[in-house]
């Protein structure tokens, strides 16, 4: 990375501070030792070293404190580098990855907590850890939960319904009403194609799909096919034309309604918005309202994901798995995607499980969200390459007419529908400020809501849990942080706010249908269908 420089003055300052702190730490450690050889417990601020074994063992406590000092100094060095902003960010990311991997808690020889457990279990924890390591090597990823406990359609993705349409892109699920009457305008969920849809339907008590059905909506969901070699050539246009637009057509024909309400989550929101812009160019406005959850339309600030994307990297992808690759289009393997996202938060999603699973021999507990997180999906190379280049790299979607999709010039401002926009305050995949910029791109009446927590936990926040909070502000000023400064915080889930908003656009109540689909679109199989069960 040419052009990067660590100023000598900054380096000298850091060296001096490091020597002073290291000397003070050594002296404090010596002072903590008492005449009889016992030690007063050290105070370790990092949760990786929170167990009593670290504090009570002078050598382990000293090692942990030296590690924390080294980590802090290395990051200060990375912050002091002068040069290109993106190159500096990559340096910081790489240094943080190394720091997290080098933690003494990650090694049996340095982890007193794991050593104690090995002694107490007479080596059984080591044996169990090795068995779990071999299991994870065979399955190709670190176990974050007990995956044997869950089965799609049995105890996750259990909301009752049926597949009423399918093609080689997706299955369309319709859900059985839970109320005697439903709103006349049907509702469509478009989930991200980089994950499986059932993040929206994990368990009955945290399913936003079931919640929406219970609120009196006739609900349909796109369940994307997990691509294989036969669909490796699918493009972004295919996901728009033969995915979202085809789903809209099917719902119109099943329900007899020209207008529906639609929700897109993450990349699903980007595909849905593109599809609606394509239809707007054709003179169609099929949605009565649009909801976008943690969705990027303006890719000016993509957070930590920006580190992985540049012209060289995108071109390499195009040459290897893109539409014009010498050996034909290929797949972006789902496990590669999953690994990338895990290492965005390595302590929580990687090293935490390395220590627990392998060093301590503890099987991870069942957790539906982490089961879903490990159920990865592939992506067709051409679709993925188009997405990388035209959004993350060149940010063309936000520019009216800059992109042609399905033969139409894309202009998001031509979508004529009220819009509910949601961002999560601690989202590291779609920064909430970036989700907010959609308020400046879409022309219909808009409501922006900011939820607490991250990309998934912020979205999946059922009201009965009475957790977290959300912020609202009717004044949609251009600057996101200015909007936040004058916003109002509300306790609990944003779902109730969204539900109240959605009812205003859902039409009158009519008798709930007694059957799913219709004579043309007959039920093919029970929900959740076959596609969601396909493995990467």
pLDDT in tens, 196-242: 999 999 999 999 999 999 999 999 999 999 999 999 999 999 999 99
What does the pLDDT average to over 339-346?
87
For 68, the 3-state DSSP assignment is helix
Predicted local distance difference test score (pLDDT) of residue 32: 67
Q: Of the residues 193, 266, 385, 406, which is catalytic? A: 266
Predicted local distance difference test score (pLDDT) of residue 42: 67
Q: Is the pLDDT confidence value at 507 over 70?
A: yes
pLDDT in tens, 389-399: 999 999 999 99
Query: Domains of the chain: which residue ranges?
Result: 8-120, 121-150+344-366, 161-333+378-533
Which residue is listed with tokens 């044996």? 127
Predicted local distance difference test score (pLDDT) of residue 36: 47
Predicted local distance difference test score (pLDDT) of residue 38: 52
Report H helices in 290-447: 311-320, 334-342, 346, 352-353, 368-374, 381-387, 432-436
Predicted local distance difference test score (pLDDT) of residue 35: 43
Report H helices in 109-148: 112-120, 124-139
Rounded to an integer, what distance in angstroms lies between the CA atom of residue 291 and that of residue 233?
Answer: 30
Report whether 462 contacts 211 (CB < 8 A).
yes
Predicted local distance difference test score (pLDDT) of residue 340: 85
Q: Is the pLDDT confidence value at 366 over 70?
A: yes
What does the pLDDT average to over 318-344?
91
- What's the chain's average pLDDT? 94
Q: Which H/E stretch holds residue 10?
A: helix 8-32
* Choice among 42-56, 85-99, 110-124, 134-148 with the minimum mean pLDDT: 42-56
Predicted local distance difference test score (pLDDT) of residue 27: 87
Rounded to an integer, what distance in angstroms lies between the CA atom of residue 171 and that of residue 155?
Answer: 20
Report whether 254 contacts 175 (CB < 8 A).
no
Who's near 332: CB < 8 A, 6+ residues apart?
317, 321, 378, 379, 380, 381, 384
CB atoms within 10 A of CB 285: 16
Q: Name the pLDDT band for 9 (thresholds 50, 70, 90).
A: confident
For 401, the 3-state DSSP assignment is coil
Predicted local distance difference test score (pLDDT) of residue 481: 96
Q: What CATH code is assigned to 161-333+378-533? A: 3.40.50.1820
Rounded to an integer, what distance in angstroms lies between the CA atom of residue 178 and that of residue 22?
Answer: 64
Predicted local distance difference test score (pLDDT) of residue 495: 98
pLDDT in tens, 66-124: 999 999 999 999 988 888 888 888 999 999 999 999 999 999 999 999 999 999 999 99
Task: Respond yes or no: is residue 266 known to be catalytic.
Answer: yes
DSSP 466: -
Q: Is the pLDDT confidence value at 2 over 60?
A: no
Q: Is the pLDDT confidence value at 39 over 60?
A: no
Q: Name the pLDDT band for 33 (thresholds 50, 70, 90).
A: low
Report whether 275 contacts 286 (CB < 8 A).
no
């Amino acid at each position: 990375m040419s052009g990067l420089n660590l100023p000598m003055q900054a380096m000298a300052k850091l060296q001096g501070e490091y020597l002073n702190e290291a000397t003070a730490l050594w002296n404090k450690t010596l002072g903590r030792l008492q005449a009889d050889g016992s030690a007063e417990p050290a105070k370790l601020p990092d949760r990786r070293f929170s167990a009593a074994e670290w504090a009570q063992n002078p050598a382990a406590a000293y090692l942990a404190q030296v590690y924390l000092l080294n980590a802090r100094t290395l990051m200060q060095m990375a912050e002091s580098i002068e040069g290109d902003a993106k190159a500096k960010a990559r340096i910081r990311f790489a240094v943080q990855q190394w720091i997290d991997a080098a933690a003494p808690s990650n090694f049996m020889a340095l982890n007193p907590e794991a050593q104690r457990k090995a002694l107490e279990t007479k080596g059984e924890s080591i044996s169990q850890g090795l068995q779990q390591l071999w299991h994870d090597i065979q399955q190709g990823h670190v176990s974050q939960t007990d995956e044997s406990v869950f089965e799609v359609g049995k105890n996750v993705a259990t909301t009752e319904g049926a597949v009423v349409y399918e093609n080689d892109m997706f299955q369309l699920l319709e859900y059985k009403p839970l109320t005697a009457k439903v709103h006349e305008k049907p509702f469509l969920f478009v989930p991200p194609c980089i994950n499986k849809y059932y993040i929206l339907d994990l368990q009955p008590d945290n399913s936003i799909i079931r919640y929406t059905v219970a609120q009196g909506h006739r609900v349909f969901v796109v369940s994307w096919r997990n691509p294989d070699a036969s669909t490796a050539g699918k493009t972004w246009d295919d996901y728009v034309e033969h995915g979202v637009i085809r789903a809209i057509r099917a719902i119109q024909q099943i329900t007899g309604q020209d207008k529906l309400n639609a929700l897109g989550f993450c990349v699903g929101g980007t595909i849905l918005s593109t599809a609606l812009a394509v239809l707007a160019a054709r003179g169609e406005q099929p949605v009565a309202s649009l909801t976008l959850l943690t969705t990027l339309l303006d890719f000016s600030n993509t957070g930590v994901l920006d580190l992985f994307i540049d012209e060289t990297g995108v071109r390499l992808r195009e040459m290897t798995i893109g539409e014009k690759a010498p050996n034909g289009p290929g797949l972006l393997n789902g496990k590669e995607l999953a690994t990338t996202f895990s290492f965005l938060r390595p302590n929580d999603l990687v090293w935490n499980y390395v220590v627990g699973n392998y060093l301590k021999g503890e099987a991870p507990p069942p957790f539906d969200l982490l089961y879903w997180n490990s159920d990865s999906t592939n992506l067709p190379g051409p679709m993925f390459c188009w997405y990388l280049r035209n959004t993350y790299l060149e940010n063309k979607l936000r520019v009216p007419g800059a992109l042609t999709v399905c033969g139409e010039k894309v202009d998001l401002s031509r979508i004529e529908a009220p819009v509910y926009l949601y961002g999560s305050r601690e989202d590291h995949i779609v920064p909430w400020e970036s989700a907010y910029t959609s308020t400046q791109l879409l022309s219909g009446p808009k409501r922006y809501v900011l939820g607490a927590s991250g990309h998934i936990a912020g979205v999946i926040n059922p009201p009965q849990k009475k957790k977290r909070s959300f912020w609202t502000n009717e004044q949609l000023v251009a600057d996101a942080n200015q909007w936040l400064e004058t916003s109002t915080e509300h306790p609990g889930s944003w779902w109730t706010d969204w539900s109240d908003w959605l009812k205003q656009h859902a039409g009158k109540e009519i008798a709930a249908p007694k059957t799913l689909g219709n004579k043309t679109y007959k039920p093919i199989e029970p929900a959740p269908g076959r596609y969601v069960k396909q493995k990467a």
